[in-house]
Structure formats: C-alpha cells, structure tokens
Amino acid sequence: MNIENPSVSIKQLDLSFGAVNVLNGLNLDIAEGEFLVLLGSSGCGKSTLLNCIAGLLEPTDGQIHIKGKNVTWAEPSERGIGMVFQSYALYPQMTVRGNLSFGLKNARVPKPEIEKRVARAAEVLQIEALLDRKPAALSGGQRQRVAIGRALVRDVDVFLFDEPLSNLDAKLRADLRVELKRLHNQLQNTMIYVTHDQVEAMTLANRIAIMKDGNIMQLGTPDEIYNQPQNLYVADFIGSPSMNFLNGTLENGTFACRDLTLPMSGYAFAAPQVADDAAVIGIRPEHIITGELVAGAPVKTQVLIDLVEPMGSDTLVYAQVDGKPFRIRMDGQARVAMGETLDIGIDPARASLFDQNTEARL
C-alpha cells in the first residue's frame, strides 16, 4: 500500500544499542489523520521506534520525515509531535495548569494565547476543575488526561502514545480507550499508538503494525490482521483465546491431518498455484460451528470435552484434535459439561493456511 503525502514516514531506520540491533532497516508510512497502532509483545522495539520518531533516541541509520520534512536531526520540540507516556510523566512540582503550559512557555507563546489553549484542552478533556491541583492529588485516569492535555495544547500534527493505558485498572482503561477514539474522531490528527494489548489495537486502530524483534510482521487494517494473518506469528498473536493450529499436508487443494480432512475449495489462496507441501491450518475458536448449525457445516467431526470455562457472555470449551489442544468458543447459554462429546463443524473458507517451513500464509 502506497500512501501519498504521508504524515510520518520512516525510511530504512536502524537502531542499535551497542551490539544489540533493535531496529533493522524499518520502513513505515503513516497517512495523514491515521490512527496507527504498533502492537507487539514486550521488548520487540515498539517504544524504541516511537522514541526515534519523537527524537528522543538518535537512529543509527535511516531517516524520519514528518509532514514531508526530514526531521532526522531535529530536536524533539521542533518536530511537531506531542507524546503521552505510560507513567504519565507529569512534572510533580507543577500544578495541572503548570504542566499544560510548560511547553508553551518554553516556546514563548504569549500569555493570553496560553490561557486560551489551556482552557480549550481542559474543556475537551474535562479537567477544568483540576487545573490548580498538583499531580499527586489526581487519580490515575485524571493524570493520564492531563498528560494527553499536555500534548493537546501544543497544537501538534502528530500524537505519540506509549502504552498510555497500561497503568490503569481494567474499567478505567476501557473508558479512556473510548475517549481516545472520540478524541481522534474529533481532532483528526495523526496518532501513533504503542501497545501490547490487542483489544486496544483492534478497537482503536485504522491500521495495525504487528512487530516482532524489531520487524513489522504485518501491517494492515484490524480486519485484515484478524481474518487474513500473513504468517503464523501474527495468527498466533492476535485473538484470545488464540487460534487452533493443526499440522498436516496440503495435497490437491485438500488439507489433511490425522484426525481431519478439509477440502479447501472455498479458501482464498494467496497465490493462484500452491504446491503440495507440509502445511499448518489455523482455525479460530470462535469460527468453530456448534449447536444446530453443525448440520450445515462443510466439515463435521466430534470431540471429547476436556474442560469447560463459562465466562458469562460466552463459554470456552477445551478439547483435543490430532493430539493437540483445541479451543472452541460457544455461546454463553450453551449447556455442555466435561466428559461429554461435542459435535462441531468447520468451515475451511474461514481458516488460515500456512506453509510449515516459511510460516507464510498460503
């Protein structure tokens, strides 16, 4: 996908800490007004990439362009970015007002203008009542709002978020997530958002970049990432509980393993011609057909229930297929018990096939 006039453009970025290469020739274009999420497990280099964009880390090689300008050598404050950190990073000795206006004072913005912008940001984030408090007297959610406000007042083109919700408890995290999405709809700024939480990524992103060891494993819309993972890593990483994988062989358009034979006629292959080879099929727990619908399923089989986890909204069933653990997500009202056999159906068209050697999508 080519983006014209990208808001942020990362070109062949290398970064190493001494002998450790964290980023290797990374390329990434982010469109104007896009909400891009960098998603990956801890230590994969998300923060490092974000810090390079912010100018807090000097790249070992490569360039960073923001709004068409090469800012590789520019100071963080000159790049037109605002950043929100996981630990809030509020100045503890300043009031909320002081925190919000610190950047503007440094930029010698006239006083009336500062007041106007602080008031506007406070209104957008609903922190007007907190302006004269010190950060210590705020709750976690309020602190993070102030931190967002600090980026907001500076009228920047690009917002950078480094796991902004990770320090909050589950309920607040969900609330603030929705607020962030509203804020993006309202402001239409470019936002680059780092997280290891796939729910945040799926709900917020226009596009997700899944990272592993400093490489982007897949870049695509949440829908693409979820339905057409381009490799085994992405397939395994996205989805909770994660995808069921079965090892087998692909022969004449039919996948076969010890317990199952799946004709892949409805499956959209990535390439028109696929050689017969060892393959892995991935089936999401929520794509397994149960109940009355099994009768109409393309492939039917039976499993023995190992364990049942009722979660209210849905019920997770653990079983075994081909000697490997197999998870099935059922309706919360399903009445199943350990030790029973369960009829299930599989639609190969919704599955994902991967080459066992290259781990790439077939």
By CB under 8 A, residue 150 contacts other proteins? yes
Q: Which does 86 bind (CB under 5 to 8 A by kind): other proteins, Mg ion, ligand ADP, none?
A: other proteins
Q: Which does 20 bind (CB under 5 to 8 A by kind): Mg ion, other proteins, ligand ADP, none?
A: ligand ADP
Cα 207 to Cα 1, 68, 83, 100, 360: the distances in Å are 12, 21, 19, 30, 20
Q: Which stretch binds Mg ion (CB under 5 A): 42-50, 62-70, 318-326, 330-338?
A: 42-50
- Between 164 and 220, whose beta carbon lies closer to other proteins? 164
Q: Which stretch binds Mg ion (CB under 5 A): 46-54, 113-121, 237-245, 305-313?
A: 46-54
78 φ/ψ angles, rounded to the nearest 5 degrees: -95, 5
The residue ranges that bind ligand ADP (CB under 6 A) are 17, 20, 22, 40, 42-48
Query: What's 18's DSSP letter?
Result: T
Amino acid at site 252: N
How far apart CA 231 and CA 211 sit, in angstroms, is 12
- Between 45 and 345, whose beta carbon lies closer to ligand ADP? 45
Q: Which stretch binds Mg ion (CB under 5 A): 44-52, 139-147, 288-296, 325-333?
A: 44-52
CA nearest 283: which of 212, 320, 235, 222?
235
Q: Which does 17 bind (CB under 5 to 8 A by kind): Mg ion, ligand ADP, other proteins, none?
A: ligand ADP
The residues facing 329 across adjacent strands are: 316
In the stretch 8-47, what mask flags binding to other proteins with x, by CB under 8 A? ----------------------------------------
Q: Token match 């049942």: residue?
A: 308
Angle between helix 140-152 and helix 111-125 axes, rounded to 10 deg = 140
Q: Which does 89 bind (CB under 5 to 8 A by kind): Mg ion, ligand ADP, other proteins, none?
A: other proteins
The helix (run of H) or strand (run of E) holding residue 122 is helix 111-125
